[in-house]
Chains A and B, each alone.
Chain A
Amino acid sequence: MQYVKPNLNTWDEMFSNEDVRERYRNVFETLKQLSGEALEKKHLQASDFFMNQGITFTVYSDNQGIERIFPFDIIPRIITGKEWDQIETGIKQRLKALNLFLKDIYHEQQIIKDGIVPAALIASCPHFLQECVGIKVPHDIYVHISGIDLIRGADGVFYVLEDNLRTPSGVSYMLENREVTKRIFPDLLAANSVRMVNTYPMKLLNILTSLSPRAVDQPNVVILTPGVYNSAYYEHTFLARQMGIPLVEGRDLVVDNQKVFMKTTSGLQPVDVIYRRIDDEFIDPLVFRPDSLLGVPGIMSAYRKGTVALVNAVGNGVADDKAVYSYVPAMIKYYLNEEPVLSNVPTYRMENEDERKHVFENLGKMVVKQTNQSGGYGLVMGNRASELELKDLKEAILKNPRNFIAQPIIQLSTVPCLIDGKLEPRHIDLRPYALCGPNGVEIVPGGLTRVALRKGSLVVNSSQGGGSKDTWVVDIEE
C-alpha cells in the first residue's frame, strides 16, 4: 500500500510528525499488508453495500434518473476515549446552555434584558419565530436531537464550527458506515474494541416516547417526512424501521379540534409525538408558508395547545443562527456560570464596524458565510476567490451586514483516504449526534466524520463533493 505523507502544518489523525499515532497502530499495520488493488476491492464492496441497500440519491441528466451513492471512504477515523470524554462533556454543556437560551428567548428574554445578547440580533434573525413565543414545550426541552459540527485545528484542539439544532441529518450514515466496516474490516474492528454506536435508535425512541402529552402506555410516535424526493428520505425510512414507528407524510395527518390524527385503514388514530424532518417554514401552511404542501394545516394550533409534541421544537433556528453562534460561550457563562469546555472558532459579525474592517483587511485569510445558509452554500473562501468575487462579496456584506459572518480559515485536520489505490490525506470534520431527554443528554460514542474528498478542499458538505467515514472511539492511551 502506498501512502502520501500529510502536510506538517496540519494535524493529521493518523500520523504525528515522528510516527504513526498509537490509536492507528493496528490499522496502519494491517493497511501496510494490503495492496492498492485489495483496498480498491474493499472500496467496491462498500459501494455495492450502499447501492443494494438503496442508500442512494438520484441525479437527473437528460431526463434519466441515475442512482448514486454518497461517497464513503473505507479508512476509519479514530478518536481516543480520552478525547471523546472531552467532546462529550463539551457538547452536554453546550446543549444545556442552548436549551436554556431557547426557553428564555421564547419567554422572559432575560438574556437580552441583561445585555448579554443584543435585542437587534434576535429581532433580525429570520429563524426567531414570533408564533412560538410563550409556547410551553414538554420538560422545557427544545433541542432533542442535535448534530454539533466539530473541527480539529492545527493545534490538535477540537473547536465547535456550528450547531445544528433543527433537523440535523446524517445519523443513518453514522450507523450504516459502521455496518459496512463490519463487512470490510471485521478483524480490525474486533481487535480495536471500538465503542458501539447502534444503540442510537433505541435511545431516540425512549426520548420520543417520554414526550407524549397523553399518559398512555404506548403513545403513537411518528416520523414526519417531506416524502420520497427528499434527499434525506433514506434516513427517514431507516429511523422509522429501526424504531418500529410509522413514517408519515403531511397528507397522512389531519388536525381536528386541535388534535393531530393519522389516516389509517381503520379510520383516524391520534398522534402524540412527531419527530418532524420538515423545516419550520413548511410545517403548517396556516401559520408559515401558505404554499407548503409538505406540512399539516393546523398542526401549530395543536402544538400550542400541547396535544402533540414536536421534535425538535419549532423555532430552534434562532439558536443555531451563524451570528448567534458567536454568543454561545457567553450563554454558557450566563446560564451555567461555567467556562466553555469546547471553544468556538473565532467569529466576526459583519454588523460590527470594527470587526468588519478587520475582516475586509484580511479577507484573503477568511471564510465568509451567509448566516441563513447551510450545507456549504453561500460560503466564500477568501484564499480561493478571485478579485472580482471578493469585490462582489464586500458589496453584498455592506448591503446587508447581518446576513454575514467571517471566520479565519482553519486548516481542518486530515486523515488518509483511499484515492486512486493509494492513501492521501484529506480534510475532515466531525458531527457527533446528541439526544436530549428528561433524563439528560446522551451521545453515542462516534458520529459522522465528513471528508472533503477534493484535494486541498476544506468544504466537507455532501452537496459540495464531500464524503464520509466510519468514526471509531477506542480506549487506547497515547
Chain B
Amino acid sequence: MMLSRIADSLFWLNRYMERTDGILRSLRYFYILGFDSYGGYSFNYKPLLQCYTGLSDTAIDEMSTDTSQVLRYMITDTSNINSMRVLLSKARENARGSQDKITKEVWEQVNAMFHYINKGGLDKKLDGDEALHVMDQLEKHCLMYNGIVDSTMPRGQGWEFMNVGKFIERCLQTVDLLDAYLQPIEYDLAKNDDLVYWRSLLFSLSGYELYLKSNRGSQHTRQVIYQVMFNADFPRSVIYSLSRMQRYLMELLEQNALASTVILEKKFGRMKSMVEFTDPASMDGQYLEHLLKEVRQQVWDFSSDFQKLFFSYT
C-alpha cells in the first residue's frame, strides 16, 4: 500500500536525479572534448543546450562556445529550470516529502548532493581549473546515488515508481540528444560518417566503449543510431529504457487493481512495438525523424496517463 502523494514524489525524485545524471554526463564529456582541436571542426555545446534548455536558437548560438557561461548556466544558475542546482533542490524536496519510504541512506545521499551544489564558492570554481574536479565530484555523487538506491531500497511499489520515472526520463534524454545530433545533418543518414562527430553523443550516453567493442567498418551514422535506439543491451538505448519501463509498469499494474489499467497497458504496448518492430537496416532518415518525434510524443502521453492513473490524489 502506498500513498499516491508519496508515489508521485518517488517518481519525480528519480526523474530529477536521472536528468541531473544525464546533463552532468553530457556536460562533462563536452567539456573534456572541447579541449581537442580537430581539423577545423568547431566544437560547441549546441546539442547539449538544445536538448536540456529552453533557450532560443539565438541565445544558444551566443552561449554555445563560451564554456564558463555554459557551465554556470547548467550547474548553478537558478534561472535555468534544468540547472543542477534547481534539479537537485527539486529532487531533495521530493525526497523530503517521501522520507518515510526511501531509506535513510538514500535521503542522506540526496541531502549531501544538495549541500554540495549549494556550497558557497562553487561558481568561482567553475570559472577556474577546478571545473573538472567539480564535475568529477558531482559524477561520483550521481554514481553513489544510483548505487545506494540499488543496494538499499526495498523492492516493491516505491522502487517501481522510482524506476518508471527514471526510465521515462532516460528515454526522453536519449531521444532528444539523438535528435540534436541528427538535425545538423538534416537526418541524412549517409551524410556524416565521421566517428569524431558521433563520439561526444556516445560519451554523453556512456556508450563509446561499447560502440568500439561492437562495431567495425565506416558506417558510423547507422551504427550509432542502431546502438542508441535499438540495442537492447545498451542501458541508455531507447528500447532498453522502454523495456524497463514496461517491466516496472506491469509489476505496478499487477499490484494495483485499478479500472483503467488495461488501457494504459495497451497504449504502452503499442508504443514499444513501434520501436521494437522497426527494421533499422531499411529505415531512412525521414522515417527516423518521424519515429523520434512519435516516441517523444507517446512517452510524454504515457507519462501523463501514468500520473493520472496513480497520482491523482488532489
- What are the residues of chain A within 8 A of B104 when measuring CB–CB? 241
Does A52 sit within 8 A of B, measured CB to CB?
yes
- What are the residues of chain A within 8 A of B100 when measuring CB–CB? 237, 240-241, 245-247
- What are the residues of chain B within 8 A of A267 when measuring CB–CB? 256, 258
Judge whether A54 and B108 touch: CB under 8 Å. Answer: yes
In whole angstroms, what is the CA distance A249 to B4 when docked? 11
Judge whether B4 and A265 touch: CB under 8 Å. Answer: yes
In whole angstroms, what is the CA distance A214 to B274 when docked? 51
Judge whether B5 and A237 touch: CB under 8 Å. Answer: no
- What are the residues of chain A within 8 A of B93 when measuring CB–CB? 228
Does B310 sit within 8 A of A, measured CB to CB?
yes
* Interface of chain B residues 255 through 292 with chain A (CB within 8 A): 255-258
Which listed residue (A52, A53, A54, A240) contacts B96, Cβ 8 A?
A54
What sequence of 0s and 1s flags, for each residue 415-433 of chain A, a beta carbon within 8 Å of any chain B beta carbon? 0000000000000000000
Does B243 sit within 8 A of A, measured CB to CB?
no
- What are the residues of chain A within 8 A of B118 when measuring CB–CB? 67
- What are the residues of chain A within 8 A of B97 when measuring CB–CB? 228
User: Closest CB-CB distance, A51 to chain B, in whole Å?
Assistant: 7
Judge whether B3 and A233 touch: CB under 8 Å. Answer: no
- What are the residues of chain A within 8 A of B161 when measuring CB–CB? 265
Query: How many B residues touch the partner, as a band?
Result: 20 to 34
Does A182 sit within 8 A of B, measured CB to CB?
no
Does A397 sit within 8 A of B, measured CB to CB?
no
Which listed residue (A53, A248, A252, A269) contacts B108, Cβ 8 A?
A53
Q: How many residues of A contact B (CB 8 A)?
A: 24
- What are the residues of chain A within 8 A of B157 when measuring CB–CB? 265
Does A337 sit within 8 A of B, measured CB to CB?
no
- What are the residues of chain A within 8 A of B310 when measuring CB–CB? 265
Judge whether A266 and B3 touch: CB under 8 Å. Answer: no
In whole angstroms, what is the CA distance A266 to B255 when docked? 8
Does A251 sit within 8 A of B, measured CB to CB?
yes
Does B313 sit within 8 A of A, measured CB to CB?
yes
Does A264 sit within 8 A of B, measured CB to CB?
yes
- What are the residues of chain A within 8 A of B7 when measuring CB–CB? 265
Which listed residue (B2, B256, B314) contacts A251, Cβ 8 A?
B314
- What are the residues of chain A within 8 A of B112 when measuring CB–CB? 52
- What are the residues of chain B within 8 A of A107 when measuring CB–CB? none
User: Closest CB-CB distance, A236 to chain B, in whole Å?
Assistant: 9
- What are the residues of chain B within 8 A of A51 when measuring CB–CB? 115
Once A52-B108, A237-B100 are accepted as A-B contacts, the answer to whether A251 and B257 lie under 8 Å apart by CB is no
Judge whether A263 and B99 touch: CB under 8 Å. Answer: no
A246: nearest residue on chain B (CB-CB)?
Answer: B3
In whole angstroms, what is the CA distance A54 to B5 when docked? 21
- What are the residues of chain A within 8 A of B256 when measuring CB–CB? 265-267
Judge whether B96 and A264 touch: CB under 8 Å. Answer: no
User: Closest CB-CB distance, B10 to chain A, in whole Å?
Assistant: 11
User: Closest CB-CB distance, B162 to chain A, in whole Å?
Assistant: 13
- What are the residues of chain B within 8 A of A263 when measuring CB–CB? 3-5, 313
In whole angstroms, what is the CA distance A265 to B251 when docked? 13
User: Closest CB-CB distance, B81 to chain A, in whole Å?
Assistant: 17
What sequence of 0s and 1s flags, for each residue 244-272 of chain A, a beta carbon within 8 Å of any chain B beta carbon? 01111101100000000011111101000
In whole angstroms, what is the CA distance A251 to B311 when docked? 12
User: Closest CB-CB distance, B33 to chain A, in whole Å?
Assistant: 34
- What are the residues of chain A within 8 A of B2 when measuring CB–CB? 264-266
User: Closest CB-CB distance, B238 to chain A, in whole Å?
Assistant: 27
* Interface of chain B residues 235 through 258 with chain A (CB within 8 A): 252, 255-258
In whole angstroms, what is the CA distance A54 to B105 when docked? 11
B98: nearest residue on chain A (CB-CB)?
Answer: A247
A249: nearest residue on chain B (CB-CB)?
Answer: B5
Judge whether A251 and B5 touch: CB under 8 Å. Answer: yes
In whole angstroms, what is the CA distance A248 to B3 when docked? 8
Does B59 sit within 8 A of A, measured CB to CB?
no
Judge whether B313 and A252 touch: CB under 8 Å. Answer: yes
Q: Which of B2, B93, B99 has the most CB of A within 10 A?
A: B99
What sequence of 0s and 1s flags, for each residue 138-164 of chain B, a beta carbon within 8 Å of any chain A beta carbon? 000000000000000000010001000
In whole angstroms, what is the CA distance A54 to B114 when docked? 10
In whole angstroms, what is the CA distance A228 to B111 when docked? 14
Once A263-B4, A264-B4, A266-B1 are accepted as A-B contacts, the answer to whether A237 and B115 lie under 8 Å apart by CB is no
In whole angstroms, what is the CA distance A263 to B2 when docked? 8
In whole angstroms, what is the CA distance A263 to B313 when docked? 6
* Interface of chain A residues 204 through 254 with chain B (CB within 8 A): 228, 233, 237, 240-241, 245-249, 251-252
Judge whether A237 and B96 touch: CB under 8 Å. Answer: yes
- What are the residues of chain B within 8 A of A249 when measuring CB–CB? 5
- What are the residues of chain B within 8 A of A246 when measuring CB–CB? 3, 6, 100
13 contacts between A and B (CB under 8 A): A51-B115, A67-B115, A228-B93, A237-B96, A248-B3, A251-B5, A252-B5, A265-B252, A266-B2, A266-B257, A266-B258, A267-B256, A269-B1
> Could you list which residues of chain A lie within 8 angstroms of chain B, going by C-beta atoms?
51-54, 67, 228, 233, 237, 240-241, 245-249, 251-252, 262-267, 269
Contacts A67-B115, A251-B313, A267-B256 aside, 9 further interface pairs with beta carbons under 8 A come to: A52-B112, A53-B108, A54-B108, A240-B100, A252-B3, A252-B5, A252-B313, A263-B3, A263-B5
Sorted nearest first, the 6 A-B pairs with minimum C-beta distance are A240-B100, A237-B99, A266-B256, A247-B100, A54-B111, A263-B313
